[in-house]
Amino acid sequence: MSKLSRIDPLVGITDKLKRPVRDLRISVTDRCNFRCTYCMPEEIFGERYEFLPRPEILTFEEIERVARIFAVAGVSKLRITGGEPLVRANLTDLIQRLSSIDGISDIALTTNGYLLPKFAEGLKKSGLSRLTVSLDSIDENIFKKMSGRPHGPKNTLDGIRLATELDFSSIKVNVVVQRGVNDHTLIDTARYFKGTGVIVRFIEFMDVGTKNHWDLSQVVPSSEVMEVIDSEFGLESVAPNYEGEVANRYRYKDGDGEIGVISSVTKPFCGNCTRARLSTDGKLVTCLFASGGTDLKSALRSGQSDKEISSIITNIWSNRVDQYSALRSNQTNFEAYTKGDKVEMYYIGG
């Protein structure tokens, strides 16, 4: 493998909207042990659904190599996602490999948490810095309905509790808010985690992919979520942790911690979008709403050097113009705009 240096073509590159590449999201599997109605609805992703065959999936060596190339370009943050990343065998080995890459200072994982009781300790030991657990409701029935599974939130809650004893630098809980589905349980979820150090982030239901029956009437604007939580507990706004942070932060006036809201639909943040995504089968995807990606796997498997792969990435990033959400919010026919071809969320991760 050839050595890259800081004079590599990818270093300092920005896209057409002057956005550098700062973080890389890596989808390690397209499979999942849940069937969330807004992501992988059971009626489509049933028994017969054909997931990627094993040879198509990037190996840990290949993922590490891509991450190294991005690290040379200045990417210091990685997020492991999926599908459900904890169903990928030996995931802790990958995290260990990634945490030893020069320049990578922060590795986060997004998980539905079902397998966290089994893996939390190993994940911490392997070098995972931060944890995001998706949990749409602590109500048994709503959880079942949204996750498409017959079990309630117990495993996920046990996993989060265990993780809080393990000294991760942050633990967040993602709640996708869907009108008429879980919007009446937001206060209970906030109350459950208030004072525990776990930060709950309420996310607007997005029109990702083409299979989740999205429509605008199911989106609860973050401003509304904020008002509901504020009227129950009292909130005040907090400055972002860093430029380009996707969540708007609020703290409880009584000092019991904070929450966040992510307004991907009502207040898009494309202007600050510095995220590249690597799909399970090795495509580089430059937007959550893209219709496809550029194949890096062939380059990885055909003997191309790191420098050549870096040039491919440079070419893609320097021509990037993605700003789907910002453009969508300017449309008069908002809903028609959302019906185009898009990659699925489980394939590139959130």
Using the rule CB under 6 A, is 347 a contact of ligand SF4? no
What letters, b where the CB count within 10 A reaches 16 and e where it falls short, cover 49-87?
Answer: eebeeeeebbebebbbbbbbbbbbbebebbbbbbbbbbb
Instruction: Give the strand order in the sheet containing 23-27.
Output: 235-238, 248-252, 258-262, 199-204, 170-177, 130-134, 106-111, 77-81, 23-27, 275-278, 283-285, 294-295
Which residue sits closest to ligand SAM, CB atoms considered?
A: 350
Q: Which of 98, 138, 157, 208 binds ligand SAM (CB under 6 A)?
A: 208
56 phi and psi angles, rounded to 5 deg: -80, -15
Which partner, ligand SAM, ligand SF4, none, binds residue 221 by CB below 5 to 8 Å per kind?
Answer: none
Least separation, in Å, of the C-beta of 282 and ligand SF4? Answer: 19
- Sketch the per residue contact string, 79 through 108, with ligand SAM: x for CB under 6 A, - otherwise: --xx-x------------------------
Determine how many CB atoms are found less than 10 A away from the CB of residue 7: 8
Give the contacts of 182 (CB within 8 A, at least 6 positions apart): 136, 137, 139, 142, 146, 175, 176
Kindly state whether residue 34 participates in binding ligand SF4, applying the rule CB under 6 A: yes
Residue 125 C-beta-side C-alpha neighbours within 13 Å: 7
174 binds ligand SAM (CB under 6 A): yes
Spatial separation of the C-alpha atoms in residues 348 and 25, rounded to whole Å = 8
Q: Which is nearer to ligand SAM, 4 or 203 (CB)?
A: 203
Q: List the interface residues with ligand SF4, window 132-151 (CB under 6 A).
A: 134
Q: How many helices (H) and strands (E) does the chain have?
A: 12, 12
Residue 203 binds what, of ligand SAM, ligand SF4, none (CB under 5 to 8 Å, by partner type)? ligand SAM
| DSSP structural state of residue 58 | P
295 phi and psi angles, rounded to 5 deg: -70, 115
Q: Which does 189 bind (CB under 5 to 8 A by kind): ligand SF4, ligand SAM, none?
A: none
Stretch that binds ligand SF4, among 8-16, 192-200, 234-242, 267-275 (CB under 6 A): 267-275
Q: Give the range of 50-58, 165-173, 203-211, 295-303 binding ligand SAM by CB under 6 A.
A: 203-211
Pairing between β-strand 258-262 and β-strand 248-252 as defined by DSSP bridges: antiparallel
List, in sequence order, every residue forming a beta bridge with 174; answer none if it has no partner: 134, 201
Integer Cα distance of 162 and 215 in angstroms:
36
Which of 37, 129, 134, 338 binds ligand SAM (CB under 6 A)? It is 134
Q: Which does 288 bind (CB under 5 to 8 A by kind): ligand SAM, ligand SF4, none?
A: ligand SF4
Choose among ligand SAM, ligand SF4, none what residue 29 binds, the Cβ cut-off being 5 to 8 Å by kind: none
Under the binding rule (CB under 6 A), the answer on residue 205 touching ligand SAM is: yes
List the x/- string, 25-44, binding to ligand SAM by CB under 6 A: -------x-----xx-----
Judging by beta carbons within 10 Å of its beta carbon (0-12, 13-18, 19+), is residue 169 exposed, middle or buried? exposed
Is 320 in contact with 286 (CB distance < 8 Å)? yes
Task: Identify the residue among 289, 296, 343, 344 touching ligand SF4 (CB under 6 A).
Answer: 289
Q: Which is nearer to ligand SF4, 96 or 222 (CB)?
A: 222
Interface contacts to ligand SAM, rule CB under 6 A: 32, 38-39, 81-82, 84, 110-112, 134, 174, 176, 203, 205-206, 208, 212, 345-346, 349-350
Interface contacts to ligand SF4, rule CB under 6 A: 32, 34-36, 39-40, 82-84, 112, 134, 268-270, 273, 287-289, 322-325, 346
